Amino acid sequence: MRMWNVETSQMCDKHLLGEHVEMHMFVGTINQGKSINGYVNNGLVEVDNLRKRHDKISREMRKRGMNHASPLPDYKKIQIGNVNIKKNEIELKRRCKNCFR
């Protein structure tokens, strides 16, 4: 799981939808009381930013004509985690020829 946090308009459909699913997975994991410390420690999630990011992804999905019918459940927000957006941009460009076109 990973929060890319890059500009949604620069992401291909596959990565946009993938990050959307992962926002739900992070919240589900938090709500089950399971640890996400590994993701936090590796800079893969900003817990306090999950809802804002989900909403941004949802807006981009609708802009692209995709359906969105999965609101993010409530979860305990804590200010932990820091995602390096520049590092993620480089990684996403490396992984996907369709992102950042």
Residue 77: its pLDDT value, please? 84
pLDDT in tens, 71-95: 999 998 889 999 999 999 999 999 9
pLDDT of residue 101 exceeding 90, the answer is no
What span, in angstroms and rounded, lies between the C-alpha atoms of 66 and 69?
10
Residue 7: its pLDDT value, please? 97
Closest CA to 57 of 90, 18, 28, 91: 18
Residue 87: its pLDDT value, please? 96
pLDDT in tens, 10-32: 999 999 999 999 999 999 999 99
The domain limits of the chain are: 8-95
CB atoms within 10 A of CB 10: 16
Residue 98: its pLDDT value, please? 97
Measure the N-to-C terminal CA separation of the chain; round to a whole number of Å: 24
Closest CA to 75 of 36, 38, 42: 36
pTM assigned to the model: 0.93
The DSSP call for residue 77 is -
